[in-house]
Amino acid sequence: MFDLIKLTEKTYYFDIPTKIGVYKLDDKNAMLIDSGINAKTASRVLKILDSKGLQVAFIVNTHSHTDHAGGNRFICEQTGCKAYAPEVEDMLIEYSDVEATLVYGGFPCRDFRKKFMNTESSKTYPLKDAPLPQGMEIFPLHGHTAHMIGVKTPDDVYFIADAVNGKNTLDKAKICYVYDIDTQFETLEKLKELDGKLCVPAHTDPTENVEYLAKINIENLLEIRKDILSIIKESPKTTEEITAQLCKKYELKEDFMGLVMVTSTVRSHLVSLRHKGLLDWFIEDYIHYWKIAEENI
Ligand SMILES: [Zn+2]
């Protein structure tokens, strides 16, 4: 736990639940790809880097989620470095309450803000201004969030953040958070082209077989989609009813935080199916129901 793993001459990662990428810019300076979940994690990162004679030159955040940007504030305050993030994600890191609002769908209650979206707001700069070394490339991985990005190091390692989940996570969590289902499908198809390259997803082991991960993630989304359609085929249902049936079928843990995240993702699935013309909705007695679109009955 908390090992700094060497992948190539200049590229490393911290082997923790949300991986942090490290690219050595020279003998004394490194850039970080993401910053960990909180100040405690960030403090351990700085200590380990310090023991190797390295200091943080700057941070690139792949996206705004707490476990990826929660260490920004501590690292920036301790080292004086800057953190850079893609558009919209930079705003969400800086105004972290908005992130919780985005998922919850209204002013988020205290538990949700504190325990789940606990990123300490910190100043974040536009990614276009980051002093990236020559040969480093940023590529879009939109879907999991609106503007998530991946980072390709000059020595050909691809940090792909939360674009894919590992098999264990998919089996256990089943409905993993996705903001935009259709864009996520596109991202997963594009990731297949990186097969053979060394890819580092944030929550599962590095792999040179990203095609496999992309495939099982696509299958997961298609299975959820199929199950949603079969639930609604029985009779029109509300978002909450559909979510409850899915949770029961997948035997998910019954807790508030999990339910908020899952409901948000189910809502994204429902909207995607409506945009495809497979679902429609109606309102009766001020209750919003989903039904199979006429032409698909
Ligand atoms: Zn994430």
Ligand 1 center to 280 CA (angstroms): 29
pLDDT (tens digit, 0 to 9) for every residue of the chain, 297 residues total? 789 999 999 999 999 999 999 999 999 999 999 999 999 999 999 999 999 999 999 999 999 999 999 999 999 999 999 999 999 999 999 888 888 888 888 888 877 776 556 556 789 999 999 999 999 999 999 999 999 999 999 999 999 999 999 999 999 999 999 999 999 999 999 999 999 999 999 999 999 999 999 999 999 999 999 999 999 999 999 999 999 999 999 999 999 889 999 999 999 999 999 999 999 999 999 999 999 998 776
Q: Are 161 and 62 in contact (CB under 8 A)?
A: yes
Phi–psi pair at 125, nearest 5 degrees: -105, 155
Q: Give the helix/strand (H/E) hosting 254.
A: none
Distance from the alpha carbon of residue 44 to the mean position of ligand 1, in angstroms: 21
Ligand 1 centre to CA of 294 (Å) is 36
CB 165 within 8 A of CB 203: yes
Q: How far is the CA of 236 from the centre of ligand 1 (A)?
A: 32
Q: How far is the CA of 155 from the centre of ligand 1 (A)?
A: 25
Portions of the chain given CATH number 1.10.10.10: 233-296
Q: How far apart are CA 86 and CA 153, in angstroms?
A: 17
169 Cα: distance to centroid of ligand 1 (angstroms): 13
CATH of domain 3-162: 3.60.15.10
CA 178 to centroid of ligand 1, rounded, Å:
9
Closest Cα to residue 82, out of 40, 43, 131, 46?
131
Ligand 1 centroid to 16 CA: how many Å? 15
Gap between the Cα atoms of 233 and 269, Å rounded: 15
**Predicted structure pTM score:** 0.95
Are 154 and 65 in contact by the 8 Å Cβ rule? The answer is no
How many angstroms is it from 282 CA to the middle of ligand 1? 32
Domain 233-296 listed as CATH 1.10.10.10: yes
- Residue ranges, comma separated, of all CATH 3.60.15.10 domains in the chain are 3-162
**Centroid of ligand 1 to alpha carbon of 65 (angstroms):** 5
Q: Output the CA 144–ligand 1 centroid distance in Å.
A: 7
Distance from the CA of 195 to the center of ligand 1, in angstroms? 22
Chain position carrying tokens 């495809």: 276
287 CA distance to ligand 1 middle (Å): 31
Q: How far is the CA of 267 from the centre of ligand 1 (A)?
A: 17
